[in-house]
Amino acid sequence: MGGTPLVEWRTGLDAGDLSASMLTRLCLDRMDCLEPQLNALTHRDREFSLAAAQAADQRLRRGETGGMLGIPFVVKDNINLKGMPLTNGSRIMRGHTSTYNATVVQRLLNAGAVPLAKANMDEFAMGSSGEYSAHGPTRNPWDLSRVPGGSSSGPIVAVSAGYSPLALGTDTGGSVRLPASFCGVTAMRPTYGALSRYGITAMASSLDQVGPVATSAKELALGLSVMVGQDPHDCTSLELPAAARLEDLRPASLKGLRIGLPQEYFGEGLQSGVRDVLMTALSRLASEGAELVEVSLPHTRFAIDTYYLLNTSEVSSNLSRFDGVRFGAREPGESLHGMIARTRDKGFGPEVKRRVLLGAFCLSKGYYEDFYLRALKVRTLITRDFQAAFQHVDMLATPVSPSIAFPLGEKTSDPLSMYLADIFTVTMALAALPALAIPAGLSQGMPVGLQLVGPSLSDVHLLEVSAAFQELTDHHLRIPPFD
């Protein structure tokens, strides 16, 4: 079952050869078998999922077809799914149950998709390895001794290990793209606003986006087709141009396509094996008529500093509401302030505490102008770099990560080293651009991802180009040896 394309399931459901209940049972049984080793999930409710599958089967019997009807999906544990726990991978949220659905979840449910489980994640989406969770670390199905990447470790592993053909993660600075590269799946950070953020736990509001995950670009587009569109609950949401092409995505012609290669992304620090895989992938695109053009994004060297100044500042503000007063766990204290301090000390993990403290410092009197405001100005310069590059090319191609997945525990004691894992993904978040991570091959037996980046609102074209690449290769169909 691992790696079975969602498109084939769609065909089988529409023809009556498959049922949603059958597929749901297969997914749930697979989770029972593999989950003790992978730890990709935080909550499952078999009866809940099977009831949704039976409702989908009734719609199929009435003659409804297409879209996401009857297709199972998994949801990251910072996205509201009514009736299921919402923990954000944190002790401070234990005991909290969602009372409503996030917009993206509700649209999938309306389309007849079947929710399977909530997926593990780095606490409050803060992490690049999948190790910072109160539920324990998630493991990479390609090598159980290595990290799967984060923060959307659970949704990525759910697709890579064949739990589900579609999953919803979130991407703030690379949280679906980095683990997608480490685990050999396809994941997208859409243009900021293309997917509603209503019902998503806010970490850094100007950067957070829902990130869909699937085996291929075509499958990912099918999921997107029912989720995109303006939402009255989210004032930042917008209509995505050419969204009508998503449901039946067609590969784009590569002839004459101008692909920019930012020189800052292919320099020192990139593992030689990763570089070799990417050069082979780019040569394949060029052999089909794409033109590879060297470009420059000169302010890239400031990206990590800028991203983490803004990220931690927004984190310190957004997480102030997790205090034990209104929801979640509460620790006893002799006063209100004592209770809040004790609750946050016991409830938050070390990475969350680190970012809250750094953000509070950045926003404090005397430092606000030197850190937060200056970072906002550099963010503008980074955005202008991309705008200038897109005057000469149609899209950009970059690495997703400087390396293959690293061993568990290798970077947890070195926060700066962990942050640098995001060096090729944070710039797109700062510039609010769509970016797609697709499997490009293997290095040392581990997956390597290629990142395609487009101008704002070019999401559909990015997917069409990715689909063209995936028609030429079979990297996205490879199954972890663990399977």
pLDDT digits (tens, 9 = 90+) for 351-409: 999 999 999 999 999 899 999 999 999 999 999 999 999 999 999 999 999 999 999 99
Question: Would you state the pLDDT for residue 418?
Answer: 93
The one catalytic residue among 76, 118, 218, 411? 76
Number of H helices and number of E strands within the chain? 15, 11
The catalytic position among 19, 151, 313, 401 is 151
Give the pLDDT score at 1.
38
Six-digit token string for 350:
């070390």
Give the angle 141-146-152 at the CA atoms, nearest 5°. 70
Q: Distance (Å, rounded) from C-alpha 362 to C-alpha 359?
A: 5
**Phi-psi map region of 191: left, alpha, beta (phi>0 left; psi -120 to 50 alpha):** beta
User: How big is the chain, counted in residues?
Assistant: 483
Place 483 in a pLDDT band, splitting at 50, 70 and 90: low
Q: Which two tokens stand for residue 456?
A: 């704002």
Evaluate whether 195 touches 158 at the Cβ level (below 8 Å).
no
- The CA distances from residue 276 to 41, 271, 393, 449, in Å, are 34, 9, 23, 12
Rounded alpha-carbon distances, angstroms, from residue 49 to 115, 132, 190, 195: 6, 28, 28, 24
pLDDT tier, 3 (very low <50, low <70, confident <90, very high otherwise): very low
Alpha carbon 57 to chain centroid, angstroms: 29
Mean pLDDT computed over every residue of the chain: 96
- Where does residue 292 rank: exposed (0-12), middle (13-18), buried (19+ CB within 10 A)? middle
Residue pair 312/359 in contact (Cβ under 8 Å)? The answer is: yes
Domains and CATH numbers, the chain: 6-259+392-477 (3.90.1300.10)
Residue scoring higher pLDDT (20 or 1): 20
> Active site includes 205?
no
Residue 236: both structure tokens together:
């930042």
Closest CA to 1 of 37, 34, 41: 34
289 Cα distance to chain centroid:
30
User: What's the confidence (pLDDT) of residue 102?
Assistant: 98
pLDDT tens-digit profile of 131-161?
Answer: 999 999 999 999 999 999 999 999 999 999 9
151 included as an active-site residue: yes
Q: Is the pLDDT of residue 5 over 80?
A: no
pLDDT 10s digits, 315-349: 999 999 999 998 888 999 889 999 999 999 999 99
Strands 72-76 and 166-171: parallel
Neighbouring residues of 209: CB distance < 8 A, sequence distance ≥ 6: 170, 171, 172, 189, 190, 192, 194, 195, 197, 429
Query: Residue with structure tokens 């930012």?
Result: 262
- Backbone angles phi and psi of 397, in degrees to 5: -125, 130
Cis? peptide before 316, omega within 30° of 0: no
Write the DSSP symbol of residue 193. T
Strand partners, 159: none
- Report the C-alpha gap between 436 and 186 in whole angstroms: 7
pTM of the model: 0.96
Pair of tokens at residue 55: 């409702």
List phi, psi (to 5°) of 114.
-115, 115
Instruction: Give the tens place of pLDDT for each residue, 187-232.
Output: 999 999 999 999 999 999 999 999 999 999 999 999 999 999 999 9
* Given the residues 160, 175, 237, 456, the one annotated as active site: 175
- Reply yes or no on whether 417 is catalytic: no
Contacts of residue 414, Cβ cutoff 8 Å, sequence gap at least 6 = none
Position of tokens 């906002």?
Answer: 376
What local confidence, expressed as pLDDT, does residue 168 receive? 98
pLDDT of the residue at 280: 98
Mean of pLDDT values over 442-447: 98
pLDDT for the residue 4: 53
Closest-CA residue to 76 (of 22, 156, 177): 156
